[in-house]
Amino acid sequence: MRIGIDVGGTNTDAALIDGDGQVLATVKCPTTEDVTGGVAAALAALGATDVSAVMIGTTHFVNALVEAARLEPVAAVRLGLPATAALPPLVDWPLPLREAVEGAIHLCHGGHEYDGTPLSGLDPAELRAVAADIRARGLRSVAVSSVFSPVSADSERRAAEILAAELGPGVHLSLSAEIGRVGLLARENATIVNAALRPLADRTVAAFGEALRRAGITAPLFLSQNDGTLMDVAHARRYPVATFASGPTNSMRGAAYLSGLSDCAVVDIGGTTTDVGVLAGGFPREAAGEALVAGVRTNFRIPDVLSIGIGGGSVVAGDGTTGPRSVGYRLTSEALVFGGPTLTATDLAVAAGHARLGDPARVAGVDPGPALKGIAERVAEAVDRMRTSPAPLPVVLVGGGSILIDELPGFADVRRPDHYEVANAVGAAIAQVGGEVDRVFSGPREANLAEARAEAVSRAERAGARAGSVRIVDVEELPLAYLPGDATRIRVKAVGDLDLEKIDA
């Protein structure tokens, strides 16, 4: 059996799934300020201890970035001189976030050309001087980036060896080749974000582990990544940035599992927002190119999600417009049906007979028709914006707030599967293990594709996938016409079932 947990801004959801994939029990608990309190409450409510694994999806790390809180100052080390000096690290960051993260900036020699040839030689003396400055400033997190490191990571690895030898084991090192894709500034930004979150990741993962121990659970712990796959505790401590947007991803994966659809649109309505995404082959469609996270331009993998300010806790104004203001986790004390003073979207759903919550008599005089119609039209418009063709597209509604929607204008096939309210926790519980390759290849196309596929499968197996279960789920080719030598950027993603025996070993 597995336990899947998703820690959202309003609720912490949990689901217990047996070896045959059946959902045995589900729980919703309020999210607590310390995050782990809600997890502990959910585990206690489920009451299961004889489980094989626990999978947790959390918004804790991305919330820290959005709030510019609980972040560690970072030493940003870029390898690229004499090039790359015009735009230094952190140049395009929002000022409050930059002030919270910037510890030191160092431009050094190193890096590679697009074909892997060295741009300039690495200077060990230069790096040792950088390490001395980092030590003098008392910084504990270092982000190392270099030109075209997804093609050749030699400069970053060698620099990391030198810095680690000088700074000792108490300093965290994040390498851009392990985090982002081709594109120096966006990849560097993602690496700096990851470095700023490393100490928080250590504390949070340790707290999750303590919550499991208090619940009497000794099973391995995994965290959900934003591509719908899992990472173990050690990987989560090293790459907290990989959890960004794992909540919507878990919801979409859970929606696919519960509905039996692998190609559809998913509408996840929570307490504050509605997230709309598209599934292709059972996995979320990824955002193309770069993505803004808390105003920072990044290029690591992230699902293509459109969010609008409508949720179960959305406040209904006097003119009938709903959201974006929300009562959030105060829903059970603020909404009319729970004895509160505020007309919310949940009150509309109860008045319309879509749900039985609280005291329906308190909304007997409310006309929900116009406001609910406006909500349905806005959600339908969001789904329409996410489609890429006029072909019929099934829509799966999940999340506790999906009681707001009875039908969507323009969409004939709208489904709300069993256990829709905890689809995010189900998505975490059924997550697989993945491996991905994204770099520039030169030479014959078929040989390049074969190499990329083999490398993706190998990475999935090294991450804990069972040999023989790994399959390729996505292949993307982008010829780089401006580069000589038949250069092509190839991205391949492979996924497989979690091999618990390998993890235990």
Three-state SS sequence of 392-431:
CCCEEEECHHHHHCCCCCCCCCEECCCCHHHHHHHHHHCC
Within 13 Å of residue 362, how many CA atoms lie on the same side as its CB? 19
Report CA-CA distances (Å) from 68 to 94, 97, 101, 167, 295.
10, 5, 8, 26, 11
Confidence band, pLDDT 50/70/90 cuts, at residue 342: very high
The mean-pLDDT minimum among 19-28, 256-265, 447-456, 471-480 falls in 471-480
Asked if 404 contacts 312 with a C-beta cutoff of 8 angstroms, the reply is: yes
Average pLDDT over residues 216-221: 90
Q: Report whether pLDDT(306) > 80.
A: yes
Confidence band, pLDDT 50/70/90 cuts, at residue 231: confident
CA 233 to CA 239: how far, in whole Å? 10
Q: Report whether pLDDT(41) > 50.
A: yes
Asked if 230 contacts 306 with a C-beta cutoff of 8 angstroms, the reply is: no
Confidence band, pLDDT 50/70/90 cuts, at residue 483: low
Asked if 336 contacts 348 with a C-beta cutoff of 8 angstroms, the reply is: no
Is-cis flag, bond preceding 324, omega within 30?
Answer: yes
Tell me: the pLDDT tens digits for 171-217? 999 999 988 887 899 999 999 999 999 999 999 899 899 889 888 99
- Quote the mean pLDDT of the chain: 88
Asked if 74 contacts 139 with a C-beta cutoff of 8 angstroms, the reply is: yes
Q: Where are the beta strands (DSSP E) in 281-360?
A: 283-284, 291-293, 296-298, 306-308, 314-316, 322-326
Q: Report whether pLDDT(456) > 80.
A: yes
Tell me: the pLDDT tens digits for 353-379? 998 889 999 999 899 999 999 999 999
Q: Report whether pLDDT(505) > 50.
A: no
